[in-house]
Amino acid sequence: MIWDWSFTLEILPVLAQAAVVSVEATLISFVLAATLGLVLAVVRIAVPRTGWTISVLVELIRSTPLLIQIFFIYFVFPKFGLVLDAFTAGVLAIGIHYAAYCSEVYRAGFDNIHRGQWEASIALNLSAWTTFRDIIIPQAIPPIVPALGNYLVALFKETPLLSAIAVMELMQTAKIIGSDTFRYTEPITLVGLFFLAMSLVSAALIRALERLLNRRTVR
Amino acid sequence: MTEQPMVRFENVSKRYGTLTVLDELNLEIARGEKVSVIGPSGSGKTTVLRMLMTLETINDGVIWVEGEPLTHMKKNGKLVPADLAHIRRIRAKIGMVFQSFNLFPHMTAMANCIEAPMTVLGMKRAEAEARAAELLDLVGLSQKKDHYPSQLSGGQQQRVAIARALAMRPKIMLFDEVTSALDPELVGEVLQVIRQIGREHDLTMLMVTHQMGFAKEFSDRVCFFYQGKICEQGPPGELFGAPKNERTRQFLHAVLEAG
Amino acid sequence: MGIGTLVAMLAAALAVIGVLATQQAYSLFLPGLLQGAVLTIEIAILGSLLAIVMGVLAALVRLYGPAPLRWLATVYVEIFRGTSALVQLFWLFFVLPQFGVTLDAFLVAVVALGLNVGAYGSEVVRGAILSVARGQWEACTALNMSRAQMLRRVILPQAFVAMIPPWGNLFIELLKSTSLVSLITLSDLAFKAQQMNQNTFKTIPIFTLVLLMYLVMSLVLTIGMRLLERRASAGLARGKAA
């Protein structure tokens, strides 16, 4: 039999539990990515002479595979006395990797702010901090929410990499089920379907959000 | 001793690469004086305002505001480039209205007018709102205080921008071609507001304008800029009535022809 | 980032590798890692070729194919974009044999990565075709060209330039994704690194070298795509001027 339904029902709760780990890893690393990315983009504008360094850093992070970065943080950090458990190391690596991508998204958002907004802020003597908080960020963020949303989905789809350092997320769980039972069809297909469903739903949500934002800006 | 000028440009130069936009400008503006700056595009007239607002750095010279250097500060008896704290202290005396309004699109008219008073001057919201309400009333927009910029006409937006600048209680107001982006029928309402605040407030005003009629009627002095220098200046009656310089004559002739 | 900076980064990365290669602690690992890098490059090149074929094919079918084929292409794109590359790799490696189809690991790697990136590529191709000005289509119709002629002679040459930068990004993604094949037993660069790390625990030299080697490959690819873009757009501009 190619597909065994009773086996499917048996492993479903186990996979559901693992899915929670995947989603947790996604959310934590995305918060890290979104925050760190914003910090990078803001620092780049606030302290222009850091621009080159940040560009190079972003390029370095984006030019090397996430999997190697995960290994690097998991295996190399302990050599410097910083021992992280697999989940933390993995989440940190994914967060930093996607921070590099997010910072470019924020940067595009900031670049789209008309120069007059900065000039008006200077003319009103606003501090740099107030200018970012009250004037620039509220205008720059809404248009880039869909782009950030796409990175959230992309990030989610990279969480199976955590299986390489044995984090018990979906992929790792499916592999273990497979090697224990010699049935790979159901667990791996179910994992695929789960990602597919989440991706399709997220894509629809992002499209709806985009429409909402377009309506708002037309106001 | 005579009173300090409100603003003094002392040998100020501005260059972009090899292009000299302003060439050793010397200009004094007295307290309460209304000065109009006219000239062909590229003559450096807008740069004068932008330097005073610290939107542009200067290459040479010093700009003084009420006897204090804006671009520099005194340190051990010498003038060194100013730090941000110094610039912000002096800059507080200056307000600016832009050609393209530059209202904050995500804030209502009222929010635009209370943002800086609350965050920079540290006013309480109630106080800032009361003051903003007065100013929006002054510019004839008390009905529109909860509207967003995109819901206002160009003339209305520019009047909000004027109220926003006034809310910071500046001593000097800069107007940078404030009617140039407006449809012709909306120009009058903005000029009317400027006239009124000129009458009612003890403000020093410096404006770049293409409205020759308004410059003639409103200002105490008109400066004609040409190729980065003041080519001719004087009371509007003289400058418009009997320009001494050939360039001024040509410019006025061309402008009046077009108008 | 300007091409000058990229070249400078490439030179710097190569210089660092060169300096490290003089150190005993590092040079020890170089031959093995280079061996892995060769496999990485092979998979990246073959995967990219498959991705281009799939991307163009799926885009054309989705735009102009008959209904059943169009649905099929859409399903392909949605599935490969909607699940992750590692899941696809594992599915082809572990599940497909249970249906009686056993591909060797190298083939699985090329097919999985090629299909994955091809799905994203089809969106790029589709977008580029749709972005060619409407007037161009109308002019072709007025000249009574067939649709195939329009595409081949007029639309695709113009869409090509717009496609280069996003394809460049996809190739980089594919190159980085090749590291996943280490998880299906292929001894690529990432696999060698893992293996050497487990045997020697010389974690820092190994992973430093590996990161630098991926960096060099990515930069070469990025610089190459930039040059291609420059040439292609210069060609288009010349065409415009004529």
A138 touches chain B (CB under 8 A): yes
Q: Please report which confidence band the pLDDT of residue B2 belongs to, taking 50, 70 and 90 as the band edges.
A: low
Per-residue pLDDT of chain C (242 residues; tens, 9 = 90+): 889 999 999 999 999 999 999 999 999 999 999 999 999 999 999 999 999 999 999 999 999 899 999 999 999 999 999 999 999 999 999 999 988 888 999 999 999 999 999 999 999 999 999 988 788 888 888 888 888 888 888 888 888 888 999 999 999 999 999 999 999 999 999 999 999 999 998 999 999 999 999 999 999 999 999 999 998 888 776 655 43
* Stretch (H or E) spanning B237: helix B236-241
- Residue in chain B lying closest to A121 (CA): B116
Domain A5-218: top CATH class: mainly alpha
Contacts of C85 in chain A (CB under 8 A): 157
**B259 vs B131, residue with greater confidence:** B131
pLDDT at position C115, please? 97
The shortest CB-CB distance from C99 to any of A2, A62, A69 is to A2
> Searching chain B, which residue's CA lies closest to the CA of residue A119?
B55
Count interface pairs A-B at CB distance under 8 A.
61
- Place A217 in a pLDDT band, splitting at 50, 70 and 90: low
**Inter-chain CB proximity A175 and C203 less than 8 Å:** no
Chain A CB contacts of B164 below 8 Å: 124
Query: What is the SS3 assignment for chain A?
Result: CCCCHHHHHHHHHHHHHHHHHHHHHHHHHHHHHHHHHHHHHHHHHHCHHHHHHHHHHHHHHHHCCHHHHHHHHHHHHHHHCCCCCHHHHHHHHHHHHHHHHHHHHHHHHHHCCCHHHHHHHHHCCCCHHHHHHHHHHHHHHHHHHHHHHHHHHHHHHHHHHHHHHCCCCHHHHHHHHHHHHCCCHHHHHHHHHHHHHHHHHHHHHHHHHHHHHHHHHHC
pLDDT-derived band at B1, boundaries 50, 70, 90: very low
Minimum distance, in Å, between the CA of residue A133 and any CA atom of chain B: 11
Distance from CA of A180 to the nearest CA of C (A): 13
Q: In the prediction, which pLDDT does C238 show?
A: 62
Chain A partners within 8 Å of C172 (Cβ) = 62-63
Q: Tens digits of per-residue pLDDT, C165-193? A: 999 999 999 999 999 999 999 999 999 99
Q: Bridge-partner residues for B38, per DSSP?
A: B224
User: Chains A vs B: touching, with 3+ CB pairs under 8 Å?
Assistant: yes
Q: Which of A119, A127, A139 lies nearest to residue B98, judging by beta carbons?
A: A119
Q: Does domain C3-234 fall into CATH 1.10.3720.10?
A: yes
- What subunits make at least 3 CB pairs under 8 angstroms with C? A
Chain A contact set for C205 (CB, 8 A):
none
Report the b/e string of B15-41 with b at 16+ CB within 10 A.
eeeeebbbbebebebeeebbbbbbbee
Closest alpha carbon within chain C to A197: C82
User: B116 contacts in A (CB within 8 Å)?
Assistant: 124-126
Per-residue pLDDT tens over the stretch C126-136: 999 998 878 88
**What pLDDT does residue B184 have?**
92
Predicted local confidence at residue C242, as pLDDT: 39
**CA closest to A122 among chain B residues:** B55
Mutation for A interface: B53, B104, B151, most A CBs within 10 A: B104
Kindly state whether A76 is in contact with chain C, defined as any CB-CB distance less than 8 angstroms. Answer: yes
In Å, how far from its chain's centre is CA A63? 17
Are A189 and C95 inside 8 Å of each other by CB? yes
CB contact under 8 A, A116 and B104: no
Nearest-angstrom CA–CA distance, B168 and C215: 52
Q: Which residues of A touch C193 (CB under 8 A)?
A: 68, 71
Chain C residues in contact with A63 (beta carbon < 8 A): 172, 176, 214-215, 218-219, 222
Percent of chain B with pLDDT over 90: 83
Cα distances from A27 to residues A21, A22, A33, A91, A147, in angstroms, run 10, 9, 10, 9, 16
Question: Does any CB of chain A come closer than 8 Å to the CB of residue C144?
Answer: no
Q: Using the beta-carbon criterion (under 8 Å), do C203 and A184 form an inter-chain contact? A: no
Does residue A215 sit at the B interface (CB-CB below 8 Å)? no
**Is A124 within 8 Å of B168 when comparing Cβ atoms?**
yes
Greatest Cα pair distance in chain A: 75
Residue B237: how many other CB atoms lie within 10 Å: 10
Question: Measured between CB atoms, does A40 come within 8 Å of chain C?
Answer: no
Domain range summary for chain A, segments of one domain joined by +? 5-218
* pLDDT band, very low/low/confident/very high, at A137 (cuts 50, 70, 90): very high
Q: What are phi and psi of A125, to 5 degrees?
A: 65, 25
A218 pLDDT higher than 60: no
> pLDDT tens across B39-82, in order?
998 888 999 999 999 999 999 999 999 999 998 888 888 888 89
Decide the pairing of beta strands B221-226 and B229-234: antiparallel
Q: Which of A16-30, A98-112, B83-97, C144-158 has the lowest mean pLDDT?
A: C144-158
Q: Tell me the chain C residues in contact with residue A64 when contact means C-beta distances shorter than 8 Å.
A: 176, 211, 214-215, 218
Q: In chain A, which residue's Cα lies nearest the Cα of B170?
A: A124
Instruction: Indicate the residue of A116, A126, A134 with minimum beta-carbon distance to B102.
Output: A116
DSSP-derived pairing of the beta strands B68-69 and B229-234: unpaired
Q: List b or e across C38-66, with b for residues whose CB sees 16 or more CB atoms inside 10 angstroms.
A: ebbbebbebbbebbbebbbbbbbbbeebe
**Does the beta-carbon distance from B104 to A139 stay under 8 Å?**
yes
Flag if C193 and A163 touch (Cβ within 8 Å): no
3-state secondary structure C185-241: CCCCHHHHHHHHHHHHCCHHHHHHHHHHHHHHHHHHHHHHHHHHHHHHHHHHHHHHH
Of C94, C176, C193, the CB nearest to A66: C176
Please say whether the beta carbons of B35 and B223 come within 8 A. Answer: yes
Task: Determine contact: A123 vs chain B, CB below 8 A.
Answer: yes
C207–A contact, CB cutoff 8 A: yes
- The answer to whether A81 contacts chain C (CB < 8 Å) is no
The DSSP bridge pattern shows strands B204-208 and B172-176 to be: parallel
Residues of chain A contacting C79 with CB distance shorter than 8 Å: 192, 196
C7, C176, C210, best to mutate vs chain A, most A CBs in 10 Å: C176
Per the CB < 8 A criterion, the answer to whether B34 and B47 are in contact is no
Q: How far is CA C6 from the centre of its chain?
A: 19
pLDDT score of A130: 95
C94/A178 Cβ within 8 A: yes
Average pLDDT of the segment spanning B154-172: 95
A188/C94 Cβ within 8 A:
yes
Q: Which of B91, B98, B100 minimises the CB distance to A125?
A: B91
